[in-house]
């Protein structure tokens, strides 16, 4: 079995679950946050540093690697694990969403999506079959079905016809998948912000027996309350013995709120993206280390953090590097932000073990959101 989930326990206080996902490249404790490595690198981090902070699974993107360097190049290198020297687990997103968030001049038909490369402008086409062919070449442990993520907001008729097509595309993905024993294919539930459509899409997608299911169509600009409501309508309809993956999330509050609503896996560019402009997540809340107030602050970024950055460098030094656009500064803030989120998920897993996740959430939010930037 390429991907096998083991449910260890469900928190008595909330709908949160403790689990493990077994893959051909190791076991992942859940709930888990997956750092995003879109172009076969988690920006500025080495594989050794990712291991040092405890990451066991990272993301890469079909759309980006199809455009550059080409999935044929990665396949010739022996697959993504070899190409990027990462021997732990990898998940690849299927490309549909990235087409919408990156390229213009795109057209959706039953067959697939025509678009122009956001790099060269050349006309390209991705179908469910093409997406699976690319993902089979890349060789990730978990691959995603080719779906359409409707924009937010989107009217009901559009969301319904789009989710029905996403269901038909899932069946074509299953047909096209050549390596089901090595690469677990996850289906993706859509349905926009409409309760009955979410429930119907969950029934459609879970009618196909797969090793895991993702909740798509969220974290696309909707208010967080709407995202949480969509989760409450969807996760109860997903099989308990399979992992649930909320795509594109996220911030510390959204991670904890998602876990409380039964989500096991998350990914987001947030921690690495904001790090590159000098915004960090600390135990006292968001800290924008490039602010002038830190120019002569020789204390650690986060006094409660024991990561390499916080043990060896001051806020003044980090501010200096970020202001000078020194690459080392981006590396130090990225390292800390990922370390912070991976430690947060460790705390969440421990709180589930002790059936006290609601208390953990309240204490964390008080500290993190109680204070100012
Ligand atoms: C939160 C934050 C910081 O993450 C940023 C930016 C805007 O949101 C993000 C993250 N949200 C997000 N929702 C998704 C939904 C799907 C989906 O329905 N299907 C498939 N196959 N993949 C998906 C990937 C997703 N990523 O999406 C882009 C546009 C990639 O940048 C990310 O705000
Ligand atoms: Zn730190």
Supply the pLDDT for residue 100.
79
Smallest CA-to-CA distance from 245 within 350, 147, 179 is with 147
Q: What angle is formed at CA 151 by the lines to CA 145 and CA 154, rounded to 5 degrees?
A: 120
Cβ 238 vs Cβ 206: under 8 Å: yes
Long-range contacts (CB closer than 8 Å, 24 or more residues apart) made by 317-326: 318/278, 318/289, 318/294, 319/278, 319/289, 319/290, 319/291, 319/294, 319/295, 322/277, 322/278, 322/289, 322/290, 323/278, 323/290
Query: What is the number of the ligand closest to the CA of 271?
Result: 1
Those residues whose beta carbon sits under 5 angstroms from the ion ligand 2 are 302, 305, 307, 309-310, 336
Dist. CA 336 → ligand 2 center (Å): 4
C-beta of 96 in contact with ligand 1 (< 6 A) = yes
Atom of ligand 1 nearest to the CA of 145: 21
Which residue has the least CA distance to atom 7 on ligand 1? 220
Active site residues: 93, 267
Token code pair at residue 259: 């876990």
CA of 250 to the centre of ligand 1 (A): 9
Q: What is the pLDDT of residue 371?
A: 56
At 74 the pLDDT is 98
Tell me: the pLDDT tens digits for 70-91? 999 999 999 999 999 999 999 9
Which residues lie below 8 Å from residue 56, measured CB to CB, with a gap of 6+? 26, 27, 28, 29, 32, 88, 89
Estimate to the nearest angstrom the gap between the alpha carbon of 4 and the chain centroid: 19
Average pLDDT, the chain: 96
In this predicted model, what pLDDT tens digit does every residue of 120-157 receive, in sequence order? 999 999 999 999 999 999 999 999 999 999 999 999 99
Cβ of 66 closer than 6 Å to ligand 1, yes or no, is no
* Shortest-distance atom of ligand 1 to CA 273: 3
Reported pTM: 0.98
Check pLDDT > 60 for residue 285.
Answer: yes
Ligand 1 lined by 220 (C-beta under 6 Å): yes
Percent of the chain with pLDDT over 70: 99
Instruction: Measure 99 CA to ligand 2 centroid, in angstroms.
Output: 35
Q: How far is the CA of 220 from the centre of ligand 1 (A)?
A: 6
Taking residues 244-259, report their average pLDDT. Answer: 98
- Judge if the beta carbon of residue 77 lies within 6 A of ligand 1: no
Ligand 1, atom 17: closest residue by C-alpha: 216
Report the separation in Å between the CA atom of 248 and the middle of ligand 1, taken as the mean of its atom positions: 4
Round to whole Å and give the CA distance between 179 and 181: 5
Which H or E run includes 323?
helix 315-323
Mean pLDDT, rounded, for 23-44: 98
Supply the residue whose CA is at minimum distance from atom 19 of ligand 1. 216
- How many whole angstroms from its chain centre is CA 290? 27
Question: Using omega within 30 degrees of 0 as the cis cutoff, is the peptide bond preceding 252 cis?
Answer: no
Q: Tell the residue number behind the tokens 């602010």, with chain if given.
A: 291
CA of 99 to the centre of ligand 1 (A): 11
248 lines ligand 1 (CB under 6 A): yes
Give the integer Cα–Cα distance in Å for 82 and 89.
Answer: 12
pLDDT at 370: 86
pLDDT above 90 (res 106): no
Residue appearing with tokens 């390429």? 2
Yes or no: say if 299 and 315 are a contact pair by the CB < 8 Å rule.
yes
Q: What is the arithmetic mean of pLDDT over 282-294?
A: 97
Nearest CA to ligand 1 atom 28: 101
> Which of 35, 60, 219 gets mutated to test ligand 1 (max ligand atoms within 8 A of its CB)?
219
150 Cβ below 6 A of ligand 1: no
Answer yes or no: is the ipTM higher than 0.90: yes
Looking at the CA of 250, name the nearest ligand.
Answer: 1
- Is ligand 1 within 6 A of the CB of residue 217? yes
Residues 6+ apart with CB under 8 A from 352: 9, 11, 16, 17, 18, 31, 259
- Greatest pairwise CA separation for the chain in angstroms: 61
pLDDT at 372 (0 to 100): 42
Cα distance between residue 363 and residue 357, in whole Å: 10
């Amino acid at each position: 079995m390429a991907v096998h989930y083991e449910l260890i326990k469900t928190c008595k206080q909330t709908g949160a679950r403790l689990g493990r996902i077994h893959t051909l490249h190791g076991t992942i404790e859940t709930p888990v946050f997956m750092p995003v490595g879109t172009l076969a690198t988690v920006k500025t981090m080495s594989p050794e540093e990712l291991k040092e902070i405890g990451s066991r699974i990272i993301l890469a993107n079909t759309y980006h690697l199809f455009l550059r360097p080409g999935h044929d190049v990665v396949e010739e290198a022996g697959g993504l694990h070899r190409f990027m020297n990462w021997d732990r687990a990898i998940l690849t997103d299927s490309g549909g969403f990235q087409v919408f968030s990156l390229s213009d001049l795109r057209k959706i038909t039953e067959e697939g999506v025509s678009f122009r490369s956001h790099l060269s402008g050349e006309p390209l086409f991705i179908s469910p079959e093409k997406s699976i062919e690319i993902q089979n070449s890349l060789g990730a442990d978990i691959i995603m079905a080719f779906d359409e993520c409707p924009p937010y907001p989107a009217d009901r008729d559009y969301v319904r016809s789009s989710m029905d097509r996403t269901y038909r595309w899932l069946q074509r993905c299953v047909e096209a998948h050549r390596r089901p024993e090595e690469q677990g294919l996850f289906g993706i539930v859509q349905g926009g912000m409409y309760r009955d459509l979410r429930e119907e899409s969950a029934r459609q997608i879970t009618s196909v027996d797969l090793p895991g299911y993702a909740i798509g169509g969220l974290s696309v600009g909707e208010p967080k309350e709407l995202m949480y409501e969509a989760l409450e309508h969807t996760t109860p309809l997903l099989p308990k013995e399979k992992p649930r993956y909320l795509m594109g999330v996220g911030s510390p509050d959204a991670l904890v709120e998602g876990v409380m609503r039964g989500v096991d896996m998350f990914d987001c560019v947030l921690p690495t993206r904001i790090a590159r402009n000098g915004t960090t997540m600390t135990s006292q809340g968001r800290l924008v280390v490039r602010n002038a107030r830190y120019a002569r602050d020789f204390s650690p970024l986060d006094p409660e953090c024991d990561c390499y950055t916080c043990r060896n460098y001051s806020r003044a030094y980090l501010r200096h590097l970020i202001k000078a656009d020194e690459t080392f500064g981006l590396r130090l803030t990225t390292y800390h932000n990922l370390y912070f989120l991976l430690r947060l998920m460790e705390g969440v897993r421990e709180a589930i073990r002790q059936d006290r996740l609601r208390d953990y959430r309240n204490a964390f939010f008080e500290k993190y959101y109680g204070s100012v930037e």
